[in-house]
Amino acid sequence: MNIEDLTIKQARELAALLGGPTGGSKRLPMPVGTKVFIITITRFYTGRVTAVAEEEVELEEAAWIADTGRFKDALEAADKLREIEPYPDGRKVVVNRGLIADWSVWPFELPRSQK
């Protein structure tokens, strides 16, 4: 079989066998390199996305945000975050995507100082 002669149907079947996308992703993309604010069912995180899998997202320069203060204020100005617990430099943090309630792009510098 010549790969150049595959039909679209055959290519989709092959992608499904190999675990690739089949035309309908189950999750919206979380682009690598993006600074994010993640809300899980129990915690808040900030960090830069370094890898994304179906079940996990990996962050660097991550911090656990223990207290956002007034939520809208924190999303409009990073200095409004009340309590920040950064992970040590160089440590990767893996968050289970099944626990993510929502996430958004974090347009500010990532918090790296304990507060």
pLDDT tens, 40-68? 999 999 999 999 988 899 999 999 999 99
Fold of 27-105: SH3 type barrels. (2.30.30)
Residues 13-29, mean pLDDT to the nearest whole number: 64
**What is the pTM for the complete model shown?**
0.75
Burial class (CB in 10 A: 0-12, 13-18, 19+), 36: buried
Which of 112, 84, 98, 106 minimizes the C-alpha distance to 42? 98
Token digits of residue 33: 């390199």
Q: Which two tokens stand for residue 21?
A: 């996308």
Outline where 1-115 has alpha helix (H).
Answer: 8-17, 71-76
